[in-house]
Amino acid sequence: MESNNEGELDIIISNVVATFRTRCHLNLRTIALEGNNVIYKPEQGTVTMKLRKPRITANIWSSGKIICTGASSEDEAKLGARRLARCLQKLGFKVKFSAFKVVNVMAGCSMPFKISLIDFTKKNRPIATYEPELYPAAMYTMRQPKATIKVFSTGSVTILAPSVVNVAAAVQHVYPLLSECRRPL
């Protein structure tokens, strides 16, 4: 989370959300009774399964759609999804791993300076919003690359984007804008 001597920022990926399909119907009751590390939620129509390595949590629907959360990279998310599909195959389902897609990446970094949020929102008015009564950060929504950035006055920045590439591009785009709005020490 600290900046390097060369002016580069360390971006820490905290969560990668991915989806995939099994291309077969899943009996949630069978998964709940025979699977390991599962929580059956019949009122929601899902089973939650956790893997230890890689550390991911998956929500499983009877339609065969699965959402995996908690990975720290795109590769780890894919590995976890494939391991999950293998666990379901071992329970007797004819699972075919398909339609894998990373849908959301959450990352964070710290700027080497504090930021005046009021100045930041005034200079970037239509894109940036700041309502201190509702939330302590300024929201900056980018269309290209697609990303949502939360900027805190301490210099902490949280980025939500559909891929790791978009996260890096969003930080490169917003850094000069934040640098203009440095808060005096």
Dist. CA 129–CA 126, nearest whole Å: 8
Dist. CA 112–CA 156, nearest whole Å: 9
pLDDT value of residue 8: 76
Task: For Cα atoms 26, 32, 37, give the angle at the middle one, nearest 5 degrees.
Answer: 115
Q: Domain limits of the chain? A: 16-105, 111-183
Q: Does domain 16-105 have CATH number 2.40.160.20?
A: no
pLDDT value of residue 2: 38
pLDDT value of residue 1: 35
pLDDT value of residue 4: 41
Chunk the chain into consecutive blocks of 10 residues (it has 185) and report each block's average pLDDT, rounded to whole numbers: 55 96 95 95 95 95 96 96 96 95 96 94 93 95 94 96 94 94 86
For 111-183, CATH gives: 3.30.310.10
Residue type, 101: K
Beta partners for 144?
Answer: none
* Burial degree of 181 (CB within 10 A; 0-12, 13-18, 19+): buried
Can you read off the two tokens belonging to residue 48? Answer: 């939650």
